[in-house]
Structure 1
Amino acid sequence: MGVEGSAAVVADEEKAPSGGESLSTRSRFRYNSPLVQVTLIGLVCFCCPGMFNALSGMGGGGQVDPTAANNANTALYTTFAIFGILGGGIYNVLGPHLTLAAGCSTYVLYAGSFLYYNHHKHQAFAIAAGALLGVGAGLLWAGEGAIMTAYPPPNRKGTYISLFWSIFNMGGVIGGLIPFILNYHRTEAASVNDATYIGFMIFMAAGTVLSFAILPPNKVVRDDGTRCTNVKYSSVSTEAAEILKLFLNWKMLLIVPASWASNFFYSYQFNNVNGLLFNLRTRGLNNVFYWGAQMVGSIGIGYVLDFSFKSRRMRGFVGIGVVALLGTAIWGGGLANQIPYTHDKLPRKLDFKEPAFAGPFVLYFSYGLLDAMFQSMVYWIIGALADDSQTLSRYSGFYKGVQSAGAAVAWQVDTHKVPLLSQLIVNWSLTTISYPLLILLVILAVKDENKSIEENPKEANVTASNKDIST
């Protein structure tokens, strides 16, 4: 834990409840427990970005011509890149309720813009809605990152990240079923029907309401009686200065390649694998398994990162190694799949009832598995760099901002019809470059839990003090 983490814990001591105030820790299922709060933010993301992922995974936003969706996503990720970085500071100023609710509401508008496009074929509304969604997504994901990485106990962050990722991606699973069921008999249809977009909007609206159930960090208490953090909300000037410092922070610079790569491959996988190889109803079915694979991948890598070895640093090394080996195998399979077709030589679209469906389906499933493992690994490393939500909200915001800048470029790469084989090679290369840099970050910045206490005895005393408060 760094100096910033120490400051947050000291704040806990200063703000400790007095008199008869009690921090009940009798059940991990109590409302103010990290487990319940991480579950709630998972449900919020189930409804909003989970459904957005299902919509995007259809290829072209469910339209036959992906141009409108590509341009909307470029606008989305351009503003997301800005507000992803600013989002951590905004979260620290406004707190969870305003930040999360404002972010979630923009998802409803985005889905509605494609309902409009289904009838009028005008891109302007979709592009404007995409730009607004980028602002909202920056706010939502900065808050989510702070909650997911700061609320859990330090030695169980991988488990809680897996829990969040599983709930969140269940949204993609359910969201994949919506177009599959509603368009099942439309085997020759080019675009999804209106009911598909309306279904997405209903879930997204529910997520906006649910965001008000999230507690601020100073009200969340771990099972051992310690608070997650208990500091006053920051000021605009403080956050502006802290955000600028991120661009000179060597820890964040080492994460940049992984951040850039982590959403760069979506346009290729959604439009040029799922969108080009399968018919409409099969694309919906594929998304059920793509996002289901994410649940499996996050649980698997979460176990490795929390339980494989006693040493936290060793768990980090093993986790990166597992993802690197699996990633090499999956992208190698993707290369074999990609060679037979190009933009000028498109394959016949497959239906899930055909035998030839199996091979490309397994590849698409594997892409989902790798995505979850890769991003869960990066979130675990970010969570190991600090313990307080203010610092981690900035780190998470920086990660999402760089990630979104990469995605904005990727969607335009696809719009300009860059050769499919070139897109695959770039995606493979970006993820591969990130692995040695993440290993270096673990070597230099991630400490074993016992060493953190030995090097910061004040934190150990504060923890003990907080335990006394809870008893």
Structure 2
Amino acid sequence: MADTKAAEADVYQSSEQTAGTAAVADTLPAGWMYKRFKIGAWALPWYASPKIQLGMIAFVCFLCPGMYNALSGLGGGGRSGTDTELADKMNIALYSTFAVVGFFAGSIVNRIGIRISLAFGGIGYTLYSISLLVSVHDSVDGFNIFAGAFLGICAAILWTAQGVIMVSYPTEEQKGRYFAWFWAIFNVGACIGSLIPLGQNIHTTTDSTVNDGTYIAFIVLMFVGACLAVFLCDGQRIIRSDGTKVVMMQNPSWKSEFIGMWTTLRAEPFVILLFPMFFSSNWFYTYQQNAINAAYFNTRTRSLNGFLYWFAQIVAASIIGPLLDLKGIRRTVRARIMLVVLISLTLVIYGGGYAWQKNYTRESVGKGSGFVSWDWTHDGYAGPMFLYFFYGFYDAVWQGAVYWIMGALSNSGRRTANYVGFYKGIQSAGSAVMWSLDKDKTSFMGEFASNWGLLLGSLVVAAPVILIRIRDHIDLEDDLVDVDETAETVLRTAPPVEKS
């Protein structure tokens, strides 16, 4: 037994040295993935570099979840403003399966690889939109519920794979900027997706379901995104700009991956304090999309609101990302500032939300109430328009903070896959609960209060992690603590280095 332990220690030490070895440009491995193409005086990064891979995954998300967000942002899955029951049922199915699969998705991604995970994930978005198109012409509730549940499986795997790339591929000094680049490109997709129904319904001042052309456009774009994912690299081939390689596992088994979930929690038990923050991170979508956008505005105005919501996310990501990487300020100090900013934004923006929500109830704008949906020409539209913009701004700040915290706790692709899996699974559990509450006709003020209370409460619970566990630098030895004590769990390194 002692000899076995010693041999395993030698494997870890050798792997650690390989994973941490800096490579210079002229000693990158041979092969087209590591060639640098020059355009004049400008040299593009190699294909298997974090920048190129992040750009590709951003466009996959631009085309798949970006378009889904645009469709969902209309409220009711694009159907008329008061017809939200089908969307509620589909989203309950979606987030229920997302929550279960998401919790284990880190292990799944580690086992099957980034590329297959993303390609499979993109298929679910296409099927979801197809089911909505069919439902406009016939009652196919069974197909709709299946499409929602299947998307939950696909989305859990896609978002976990995306999180691994965004959190573990960049160096410690680049993690905020990588979030900003990804989130901006991803939300350009949602913005363009919102312009599709806006353009097709620009002259429709009454409330109605979006037309077939809108759904068909979403279906085509989502399928293209799923195909694009096939051309990504898996994590073991990635070499960072400083020459280091991403810590992955050599031939992980299902057993080793499920054990790895436990060792991840054992290595950083404080991550459990982030779970309420994970839980509340998508809770507010239901309220914002159904209780505000779908309940109060007509089709073209909902499309405009959706565009502004996702555009605000681009603005916020472009601000928060560079600030989280700000040089000259220690990472521990940046973490404390981030906590204060989150608390302040929660109080200010949701304080404005309370002032708006006092104006109406579910009953006062529901069927039979005589309420006429607002158009952007209505007097007083500017107030809710800016509120909806800042709700989108807040969402990007919150998501950026969560990803940055996870990235600050580890640089390991293997461990961050589990962190992101926990994040997406618990996040989706919260979404499933909230969609269920909306289906049961919870009052709009009750939905709003739950948003505000959960966000503030989760920040209080997460404060010890932000204030105590985030350090200025994570040593490679710390990222190897959770390596399983089995002979098969050897760290995977990049291909052998050969001078090209």
TM over 0.5: yes
Q: Does residue 1:12 correspond to 2:31, yes or no?
A: no
Instruction: Give the one of 30, 50, 53 matched to 1:34.
Output: 50
Q: Does residue 1:82 correspond to 2:89, yes or no?
A: no
Of structures 1 and 2, the larger Rg is shown by: 2
Q: Does residue 1:265 correspond to 2:277, yes or no?
A: no
Normalized per residue, the structure richer in helix is: 1
2:381 is matched with which residue? 357
Post-superposition Cα deviations, 1:419-465, rounded to whole Å, max 9, x if no partner, equal 1111111101111112233331023321112x74898999xxxxxxx
User: How far off is 1:226 after superposition?
Assistant: 1.6
Question: Quick check: 2:94–2:150 contact (8 Å CA) kept in 1?
Answer: yes
Instruction: Give the one of 237, 241, 245 matched to 2:255.
Output: 237
Question: Quick check: 2:60–2:226 contact (8 Å CA) kept in 1?
Answer: yes
CA 1:237–1:198: 2 relative to 1, 3 Å: same
Equivalent position amino acid for 1:266 in 2: Y
CA 1:19–1:206: 2 relative to 1, 3 Å: closer
2:487 is matched with which residue? none
User: How far off is 1:215 after superposition?
Assistant: 1.0
CA 1:39–1:106: 2 relative to 1, 3 Å: same
1:288 is matched with which residue? 307
Identity %: 37
1:322 is matched with which residue? 341
Distance in 2 between residues matched to 1:394 and 1:46, nearest whole Å: 24
TM-score (norm 2): 0.86
CA 1:384–1:469: 2 relative to 1, 3 Å: farther
CA 1:62–1:21: 2 relative to 1, 3 Å: closer
Instruction: Give the one of 62, 70, 73 matched to 1:54.
Output: 70
Distance in 2 between residues matched to 1:421 and 1:19, nearest whole Å: 61
CA 1:194–1:239: 2 relative to 1, 3 Å: same
Distance in 1 between residues matched to 2:499 and 2:457, nearest whole Å: 46
1:461 is matched with which residue? none
2:231 is matched with which residue? 213
| Partner SS for 2:362 | coil
| Partner SS for 2:471 | coil
Instruction: Give the one of 68, 75, 79 matched to 1:63.
Output: 79
Extract unaligned runs of 5+ from structure 2: 1-8, 38-42, 366-370, 482-494
Post-superposition Cα deviations, 1:369-388, rounded to whole Å, max 9, x if no partner, equal 00000011000000111111
Post-superposition Cα deviations, 1:111-131, rounded to whole Å, max 9, x if no partner, equal 000000000133221111000
Equivalent position amino acid for 1:397 in 2: G
Question: Quick check: 2:176–2:324 contact (8 Å CA) kept in 1?
Answer: yes
Distance in 1 between residues matched to 2:311 and 2:382, nearest whole Å: 17
Extract unaligned runs of 5+ from structure 1: 459-465
TM-score (norm 1): 0.91
Post-superposition Cα deviations, 1:72-120, rounded to whole Å, max 9, x if no partner, equal 0000000000111111111111111221111110110000000000001
Equivalent position amino acid for 1:12 in 2: A
CA 1:83–1:266: 2 relative to 1, 3 Å: same
1:333 is matched with which residue? 352
CA 1:469–1:383: 2 relative to 1, 3 Å: farther
Equivalent position amino acid for 1:330 in 2: I
1:425 is matched with which residue? 449
Distance in 1 between residues matched to 2:127 and 2:346, nearest whole Å: 35
Question: Quick check: 2:28–2:499 contact (8 Å CA) kept in 1?
Answer: no
Question: Quick check: 1:261–1:430 contact (8 Å CA) kept in 2?
Answer: yes
Post-superposition Cα deviations, 1:323-353, rounded to whole Å, max 9, x if no partner, equal 2211210100000000010011125321112
Instruction: Give the one of 393, 397, 401 matched to 2:421.
Output: 397
Question: Quick check: 1:52–1:107 contact (8 Å CA) kept in 2?
Answer: yes
Question: Quick check: 2:29–2:499 contact (8 Å CA) kept in 1?
Answer: no
Alignment of 1:22-421 (within 5 A): 22=30, 27=43, 29-64=45-80, 65-229=83-247, 231-244=249-262, 250-307=269-326, 309-346=328-365, 348-421=372-445
In the alignment of these two chains, the number of paired residues is: 459
CA 1:303–1:21: 2 relative to 1, 3 Å: closer
Distance in 2 between residues matched to 1:234 and 1:15, nearest whole Å: 25
CA 1:454–1:188: 2 relative to 1, 3 Å: closer
CA 1:456–1:69: 2 relative to 1, 3 Å: closer
Distance in 1 between residues matched to 2:316 and 2:245, nearest whole Å: 30
Equivalent position amino acid for 1:376 in 2: G
2:470 is matched with which residue? 446
User: How far off is 1:363 after superposition?
Assistant: 0.4
User: How far off is 1:212 after superposition?
Assistant: 1.2
| Partner SS for 1:372 | helix
Question: Quick check: 1:350–1:356 contact (8 Å CA) kept in 2?
Answer: no
CA 1:98–1:454: 2 relative to 1, 3 Å: closer
Question: Quick check: 1:11–1:231 contact (8 Å CA) kept in 2?
Answer: no
Question: Quick check: 2:131–2:143 contact (8 Å CA) kept in 1?
Answer: yes
Equivalent position amino acid for 1:286 in 2: N
Post-superposition Cα deviations, 1:176-206, rounded to whole Å, max 9, x if no partner, equal 0011111222322421111111111111001
Distance in 2 between residues matched to 1:328 and 1:45, nearest whole Å: 31
Question: Quick check: 1:304–1:318 contact (8 Å CA) kept in 2?
Answer: no
Distance in 1 between residues matched to 2:28 and 2:258, nearest whole Å: 38
| Partner SS for 1:265 | helix
